[in-house]
Amino acid sequence: MLAYAANSRPAGRAGSPHALIFVVAGHAVLIGAVMTAKMDLVSKSPFDPTDVVMVPLDEPTPAPPKPPAPDLAIKPPTTVIDRTPVIVDVPLSTPTLPLDQGPPLVDFVPNPSVGPGVTPALPAKPAPVRAGPRFATPESALRPPYPLAKLRAEEETTLRLRLSIDARGRVTSVEPVGSADPQFLDAARRHIIKAWRYKPATEDGAAVASSTVITLSFRLDDA
């Protein structure tokens, strides 16, 4: 480029030394700039570096082993024995043998009370031996007290009463049979339950509960 600049001057005109220095310096600066630009381009890579990561591959799952082929059982050959059936001649008539007829039959008359599905009658069970209660109250405790209001009114009455007696001989309840005056009934019930005693009734010798009906009279002569 310096040679081109020197040869391009017009002939017969002398160049200025200061102008030549400026031309040479400008070219030097230009060449330096071009060289620097090339070095920057060479030093910089147009592509970024790529990191390569090694990823291990999963090992393939081994296929399950195939089951062994079943042994084919060898069936023994079937043996057939051809036998000729033996035919035995049987006589058409057999000799007659004497049969034992046993004892002669006797006419049998069935008993309608005995037989299959019929239960024989059992002897009748004897009836239990029962004995009623017996009065065991002393005479001093026999009479109930006379109601005071009835005594003043000079009233008398006769009561029919049903007594319930337990296995110990004690009277447990007193109930009227028919109509009864409440005051006379209350006086009789209280006294009988408290003071009267019985020998209990029995059944086959064992004491049992029972009941009995009595007649009780309230008289002014006895008050």
> Residue 119: what pLDDT?
64
C-beta of residue 187 within 8 angstroms of C-beta of residue 144? yes
Q: What CATH number should be reported for the domain whose range is 130-222?
A: 3.30.2420.10
Host H or E run for residue 33: helix 17-43
Helices (H) and strands (E) in the chain, counts: 4, 8
Residue-by-residue pLDDT tens, the chain, 223 positions: 444 444 444 444 445 666 677 777 777 777 776 676 555 544 555 555 666 666 666 666 777 777 666 555 545 544 444 454 444 444 444 444 444 555 655 555 555 555 555 566 777 888 889 999 999 999 999 999 999 999 999 999 999 999 999 999 999 999 999 999 999 999 999 999 999 999 999 999 999 999 999 999 999 987 7
Residue ranges per structural domain of the chain: 1-6+19-42, 130-222
